[in-house]
Chains A and B, each alone.
Chain A
Amino acid sequence: MDLKDKLVSSFMAFENNVDVEHPVHDIRTEAIKNFEEKGFPSKKQEAWKYTSLKGLQKVDFSIFPKQVNTLELKEVKKYFLHEVDTYKIVFIDGNYSPFLSETTHDGVDICLMSAALTKPMYKQVIDVYFNKIASKDESLTTLNTAFSREGAFIYIPKNKMPKKPIEILHFSTGNEASLMLQPRNLIVAEENAELQVIERHQSLTSNEVLTNAVTEIFAAENAIVDFYKVQNDAKTASLIDNTYINQKDKSVVKVHTFSFGGKLTRNNLNFYQNGEHIDSTMKGVTILGDKQHVDHHTLVHHIEPNCESHQDYKGIYGENSTGVFNGKIIVDKIAQKTNAFQQNNNILISDKASINTKPQLEIFADDVKCSHGCTIGQLDEDALFYLQSRGIPNKEARALLMYAFANNVLESVRIPELKSRINKIIAEKLGVRLGFDL
């Protein structure tokens, strides 16, 4: 049985474990129908031209882990941003781990989707926000919607700000030979609210994992949301990340995506600007080697006038790795005075590495500033000579130049401990120990 059939037929078993009377279940039922009709996207579709899911569909993934596994904190501490105090929402093989988590209901709700989907006190928030911005048409998103049961639920009321950053961590323990996970997150920042979220998927063994995640983020008037995606997973872990962001007037949302690992990673990052004077920022650093593949698909839809969007993605591709950047910007006719910037710069450090980069601009307004640029190059030999002439060996000199190349993406990281952690991962990826911490 292929993966699609297996998923569709698993839906009935899934229904035994959820409240089918809940209004959300109607959404799930609609969603599975859409997935059944559409199936997995294929390379024939323009949006999936460079990323094939064929291999993954042949894997016999477990849809529901048979048993609950536990983890000792000391086994996984290094995956947490432990240098700083954080709220934590932790899942092990898709199941919530109360032991590793630190949730709160103190003025803000930082807890579980399973609670939000079942408890009456959250019904109103779920009614207003759940599955409102996520696509009802894109098949992988609807697949996630059909099986939506668990994930992070974060609700920050008007004028509130959580005391510390929030970490969402998904561990897979290798209990199953191969496991498919479908976390569903909902993040709501009401008027003037502010929050910082760090999300990480981590496989702890070499058993195959496929994660198909959906995150919906709502930023109301003047809200500020910083979302950091740390993608540094095992070589047998694949991730399809579908993130949908709805912004209202004067809100500021920044998403940083650090893609350093994994087998296949697809980031579908979608911004919808439903208001004026909105600022949307997407930044990414990708450093790949081996046969890794990362595909960044971004969309910014400028729906109202006087808004800005900034995209800056840097990629360093080595060995046989492959990358894709596809940045779509839509400016509606009414969205005058839009400022939309997009930049994608890449360095290929191996003859066998490749990158496909494509800006896609659909501009229907006439008074806008839109710019885009993409470059693919090698390291600057003159710069390399400069560093070497100062006594810095070739390998370290190359690493310093690559670091310098990716550096400006890190400038906007507002959690210093995270920034230094990312710097360390970069130094590690580049295989150097420099005379100072990057």
Chain B
Amino acid sequence: MLKINNLHAGVEGNEILKGIDLEVNAGEVHAIMGPNGSGKSTLAAVIAGKEEFEVTEGNVLLNGEDLEDAAPEERAHKGIFLSFQYPVEIPGVSVTNFMKTAINETRKAKGLEDMPANEMLKLIREKSELLEIDRKFLSRSLNEGFSGGEKKRNEIFQMAMLEPQLAILDETDSGLDIDALRIVANGVNKLKSKNNAVIVITHYQRLLEYIVPDFVHVLHEGKIVKSGDKELAHELEDKGYDWIKQEAAV
């Protein structure tokens, strides 16, 4: 589904990703771990098409198609979803209206009519129950005054609404208490299928107790320096990142 070949990317001549290779197939869950500043969030942003980052070498393919010239919204229409570490507040636009716009713009891009209002309401109800989101919450302005946990839950609610092929969760566990973490993980697990894939980006192993990865990759100084199965995450939790750094230096 997703194939990243020798990806180099940076901002204003400053290279952050220094040759990433990664292949993610349908039905898989990949975890990308690594110390702060290793390039985890940059990788997520580059896959989602943030224009601030310039790809200097290599490419990102989705179902064989090079995404190089695709704007962020086009990538979204193709089925890429990024759950943000810091979701943006949009005063005056309710969660419901925001989702309506997002879904109907995606449908428009595919040549479909707007989703009928009753169908939209049904979908919203169904997905908000999945994330245990209160109805009142949906009429609040998007992310405005939301707690950290509410923001993250709302991100996964958006993911549930948009049903992406590839979901990238960028530090979704940060700022979550254990109950919120469980709700969010439970939501992600229920959305998982053999047709979609998830990339979980995290500093800690905690979230991986709930969203169990098939593969774990360690990112260090813009490169994947180690890959393994979920045991690697446990090892990192026990030993920290220093041994990876030392290994990488050798």
Contacts and interface: CB of A to CB of B under 8 A. Distances in A.
A404 B48 CA distance: 24
Nearest to A436: B97
19 contacts: A382-B86, A385-B72, A386-B88, A387-B90, A388-B49, A389-B48, A389-B72, A389-B80, A389-B84, A390-B158, A391-B73, A391-B102, A393-B71, A396-B101, A397-B73, A403-B93, A404-B92, A435-B97, A436-B101
Main secondary structure of the interface of A (DSSP, over half): helix
A400 B101 contact: yes
Contacts of A394: 71, 73
B172 interface: no
B101 A434 contact: yes
Contacts of A382: 86, 88
A418 interface: no
A410 interface: yes
Contacts of A351: none
A400 B105 CA distance: 13
Contacts of A391: 73, 76-77, 102-103, 105-106, 109, 162
B102 A390 contact: yes
A206 interface: no
A388 B88 contact: no
Given A404-B90, A435-B101, 5 more contacts: A386-B84, A391-B105, A404-B92, A404-B93, A435-B114
A370 interface: no
A434 B97 CA distance: 9
A380 interface: yes
A418 to B, nearest CB: 16
Interface residues of B, number: 36
Q: Could you say which interface size class chain A belongs to?
A: 20 to 34
Given A388-B73, A403-B93, A383 B88 contact: yes
Interface in B153-204: 158, 162
Given A400-B93, A408-B91, A435 B82 contact: no
Contacts of A400: 90, 93, 101
Interface core residue of A390, A391, A393, A397 (most chain B CB under 10 Å): A391
B135 interface: no
B51 interface: yes
A422 interface: no
Interface string A381-425: 111011111111110110011011001101000000000000000
Contact of B100 (A404, A407, A436): A436
B144 to A, nearest CB: 9
A389 B76 contact: yes
B52 interface: yes
Nearest to A396: B105
A388 B72 contact: yes
A281 B92 CA distance: 20
Nearest to A403: B92
